[in-house]
Each structure stands twice: as C-alpha cells, then as structure tokens.
Chain A
C-alpha cells in the first residue's frame, strides 16, 4: 500500500543521508551448512637461487600432509591443476582454480638469506579472489620441515579461526625388543612422526613423560637408582635432576600451566596422595590425604583446578578439586572405571581412559562430568594427550599377541579422522608439546 512513494522517498533519503537501508532489505537466516573439508590446492613451492627444487617441493609436501591430517582440508591432486608455474608476485588465474573446485590456493617460494631458509607464501581465496594470508618465515637449513609446519599452522588458523598445532613436538616412550623384555627409552619427535630423537639410553624403565609449558623441559618417571622417581630433563642441554627428595616413590608428574610447579603422586605405606612442588623454592604441599591411591593429576588450563584419578570409592574414578586440594568431588558417573584424566588446553573438556567390559576406551567429558562421549574403543587404548588447540587427541593403542605392541594414534574431537602416527618402533605414553615459539 502506497509503497512506491514510500520507496522513492526512502531511497532518496538513503542516498542523501547515510548507508541506512532505504527500505526493508530482504533478510534471510542461514542456520545450516555442510561440514566438509575445504578443497585446497597446494602447488609445489618454487625454488629460488641455490635451492634444490626437491627441497622446496618437500616443504610444500609438509604443508599438504599437515593440512590433510587435520581432516579439515582436502588437498587437491596436483595432476588436476590447470595453471602451472605460478609466480608469487602475480595474481593467479582464479577461473582455472575454480574449475577444479579449489577454494583455497597456496603459492609459495623458498629462498635463502643470511644462511637461513626463507619461505614466502600466499593463501588465496579462490572464489572471492582475495588474499587471506601473505607472510614470510625463516628457519635454519636443518629445520626445513619446520617451515612447512609453520605455514600449515598459518593457513589452518586463518581458515578455522583456531590456533594450529603442526609446529609442535611429541615426547613419548619408544619401545623396542621382545614383549617380555622391552627396552623403553624416552624419545622426542615432530607431531607428524619425523625427526625422532632418543633422549635416554634405555638402561632404566621410563614412564609418563610430560612437557613443560616452556617446551624446553620434560618431566617423567624413571626407575633409575632402583625406585621410581620423578625427574626433570632439559631437552636442549640433556641435563636432568630428581624432583624432590621423598622417602617413598613418586610418579605421575605433570607441570602446572605456568611451568612453576609439578603436581605428582607420592606413595607411602601402600597408599598414594597428591603433592605439588614449587620448582623454585622446592617447597612441597600435600593436596590429598586418603587411604586410597590418588594419581594422574592434571591442572586445568587456568591453574585453578586439578583433576585426578582415585580408587577411594572402590573402583577408579575421576575427581576434580581446587588447586589447593579443597572441594574434592567425583565427576565420572558412568558404568565402568575411569583413569588418566587430562584437562583440555581449551578448558572445556577432560579426556580420559575408560575401562568397560574388558575394553579400554578413550573419551571426553565436561569438567562437571556431563556430556560423556567415547571417541575410540578397542582392545587397549590408553593415555590421551591434547594437541595445544584442544581439537585433536593423541593416545596409544596396544595390540595383543607376541608380535603386538603399542602404537601412537591421533583422533579429533568428533571421533572421526583417526590416524596412525608413524614411529620407527613401538611407542606409548605420548605427550604433546605446546606450540613451539
């Protein structure tokens, strides 16, 4: 009714005044979408002067593998590419990339400057023709693969809005030899299974290695010297020390989020309680005092709470308490028993190992115990550890039989995209590092 005069008047007003909608603009709510990996094209990075083309290609391959492993990207087969020999400094022919259904395009160049490798790259939005990321990163020649991880992190972060986790490392227990006489050595590697380096000789059994938030140190339990003790090891210098001087055995150590304290179990007279030790003052504080076994403590990312495993109710269950030991309460409510709780770096979930009907499952629940979800099940899955962005978990899965042994796997929060992490030998007890700075 009398819409036309209104429209005209409103249009005039709109033109004269501000970009206020001149008339009722059609407004549509889109509340559903598709969850699918983003098709992305990653041509081989171009080599600069003095750079081996194969080395440049390998870096782009690292980017491709990282993004693919996340399950959130679908790298397109290079054979489908129409435009070839892309130049970093010219705009790609987007129609050629749209034709192969690419939505993202990564163009890169590897050069050298001052004895370092320099990687330049651009991430293009193929549909809108907009550049989303354009950066250059440097690394030492022996760390060429890191360039790929850093680039993959930048792409991941721009597309998902979350921090990446590719430029990270895993510390784990490398296991070799027959099942009844396994040699267990501490080892460290990149998150994709490359660059494995052994940290201990294998003379003594090692268990539960954990990263410090600073990434330079790890804490673990070792039988060195006869009885199990918690140790601190500097990865760079190889220097190690015993944490605290307790009469009983200490185990299950873990750093506080600020890296200033270690929380662990101390066994005395058949039961175990939780203690913290301040790494500077060496002062210890007892947090729990029960006749049960309290173990596997883990801080919340804000440092205000601790989750742990205890059998004080008869079976192993997960508890949460304040960081000073107050307000201890059980959160696991389901059937079966629960172990190895690990607080997500996001703070929203706690991952655990669940023992149910002879099987070991990996699952997550909210810190109040609600919303329990099992992500993977099978004969023996154990020891979850979170990627620094809280989206992916790594754990180890043992297989039965004389030839069987533990292997490392990753799985994302949705319970899909389970992947084997290739290690040279068997591996167990993984711990994910924070992002490397």
Chain B
C-alpha cells in the first residue's frame, strides 16, 4: 500500500463522484416535444392538385418547392387574417342589418327579431363570399332559424394543401378564373368529397320525410334547385320527376320544405358555377328499411 494506491483510490472516487453528479442532471431531462404537422389529404385533394389545363401557360410557380412558399404563406395568412377581420367587420355592419332592417321597418317587433338574428354570429367566422354590398341589398337574406352549417369552413379546416390559396381576398377569388398549370384553382371544378358530405348532412338535418306507408319507400323525389350567390334559393325548386303513388306529392312537399328550411346554403363561393344549379335526389328507402 503505497501512495500510488491512495492516488488511484482518490482518482476512482473522483471519477465516480463526477459521473454521479454530472450524468443525471444533464441527461435525464426529457427532450422537448416537437409537434410534427401532419396533413391529411383525401383522394380528391390529390386529384385536385393534378388537375389543371393541359395547355395552360406556366404562369405561376409549380408546386414543387413547398418550403419557402409555405413560410411565406404563413406570413401572408397572418397578415390576411387582419385584413379579413376588417372586411368582416364591414360585412357585419351591412349583411345582417340589411337582412333585418327592411323587416323592422315593416313590422316593428324587436324582441322576436332579436331572437332570430342569428346571422350576426356569422361574421365572426371566416366566410368566403365574394359578393359586393350592392348585391346584398338586392337579395336580402331570409332570417335563418336553423343553425348555419358552414361547409366551406369545414373544408378549409380539412383541406390544408393550398395554404396560399386558402385565404384569398373575395375579389381575388372572383377574378381568378385564369387557369394555372397544376394548381388547385385552375379549371379543376369539382366539389370535394368533404363539401358534398357536408351539404348532404346539412340537408338531411332539414328533411323530415313523410312517415311512410305501403310502397312509400320506393319513392324518390328529384328536386332541381337554383341558388343565388348568397346561398338562397332562386325561385321555387322544381320537382323534375313524377310519381303515381299518393305518397309522391307528400314526399315532394317534404323535399321542398327541406331545401327551403336549409337555406342559405354556405358553399365555397369559388365553385358557385358548380352549385348554382343542383339536383337533389331524396330517397328515403334506406330509412324505412332500418326502421
């Protein structure tokens, strides 16, 4: 046992102490969680990305370099949010009032109208209706008693691919008709699965089919409706098929009531050309079968 033993022992103790002190403090802290953004895309979104005009000029940048664009888009989005709120404030000034004011003038019943003034809730949500105020004055909205169900809001939440195009100004949307190679806003004009599902769900909520009867389950009512840009019905919907059963008239009436009750339809304004004219097939057969 010489001094070397002591030195060796001291060194060992020092190493062990160093390890005990330094390791737990430095290594045991959990790494901070990093949120990884995941985009859910439906097949229709993919097909939308690919759709476009074959002979379109390559005016815009292709969607090949997503990274710099995305960061830009986020900034754009942030700045546009402000713009939007501003524009919406404006809207909240004229849209709901224009719907309510004329009625107030006709029959002053403030309490009842106040109850039905749900449109006021709308402006707080992002809407994409590009109509100028002049048009609104022309076609005042009827008071909507039912909860408005915004298909485009849901579509906006789900559809994350075209960030930059997600929040265009109303004017931009209206003007943007030029086809752009490979971009979603080309002439790719199809309603997405989500948009159609939302529309279907909305009308299902409004529809109370007749209680049925012998043979009533086989009745399908084909209803053609035309919509204004603000989502209200343009005229009386037309029943385009005929039925000999006594239940047909009742079924047709129930379908007409449903489309009236559901208006205004909040659908993507950019696709107005698609939904301005629609055929709805009201088919209760699966309901009766399950009941």
Contacts and interface: CB of A to CB of B under 8 A. Distances in A.
Given A93-B107, A128-B257, A35 B278 contact: no
B278 A25 contact: yes
Interface in B121-175: 142-143, 145
B143 A99 contact: yes
A101 B187 CA distance: 41
Interface residues of A, number: 43
Contacts of A3: 187, 189
B208 A414 contact: no
B213 A162 contact: yes
A421 interface: no
A35 B211 contact: yes
A93 B245 CA distance: 33
B280 interface: yes
A160 interface: yes
B204 interface: yes
A236 to B, nearest CB: 31
A78 to B, nearest CB: 15
B258 A346 contact: no
Q: How large is the interface on B (under 10, 10 to 19, 20 to 34, 35 or more residues)?
A: 35 or more
Contacts of B248: 161
Contacts of B251: 161
A238 interface: no
Interface string A112-144: 000000000000010110101000000000000
B253 A35 contact: no
Given A99-B112, A128-B256, A161-B246, A348 B214 contact: yes
A130 B224 CA distance: 17
A30 B103 contact: no
B249 A161 contact: yes
A72 B209 CA distance: 11
A347 B216 CA distance: 15
A3 B103 CA distance: 43
Given A25-B278, A160-B211, A161-B251, A33 B258 contact: yes
Given A99-B116, A161-B216, A31 B287 contact: yes
Interface string B261-291: 1000000000000110111111111110001
Contact of A26 (B54, B205, B275): B275
Contacts of A38: 208
A79 interface: no
Contacts of B209: 33, 35
Among B189, B208, B216, the most chain A Cβ lie within 10 Å of the Cβ of B208
A95 interface: yes
Contacts of A95: 103, 142-143
Interface string A20-57: 01000111111111111010000000000000000000
A201 interface: no
Contact of B253 (A34, A132, A390): A132
B273 to A, nearest CB: 8
Nearest to B257: A127
Contacts of B283: 29-31
Nearest to B214: A346
A33 B207 contact: yes
A103 interface: yes
Contacts of B143: 95, 98-99
Given A33-B287, A125-B256, A82 B208 contact: no
Contact of B281 (A4, A29, A128, A160): A29
Interface in B201-237: 203-205, 207-211, 213-214, 216, 224, 236
B10 interface: no
A182 interface: no
A158 interface: yes
Contacts of A82: 109, 112
16 contacts: A3-B189, A21-B277, A27-B279, A28-B279, A30-B204, A31-B286, A33-B258, A33-B287, A35-B208, A101-B145, A127-B261, A159-B250, A160-B210, A161-B250, A162-B213, A391-B211
Q: Which 8 A-B pairs have the closest CB atoms?
A: A161-B250, A161-B247, A33-B207, A127-B260, A32-B204, A27-B279, A33-B209, A29-B281
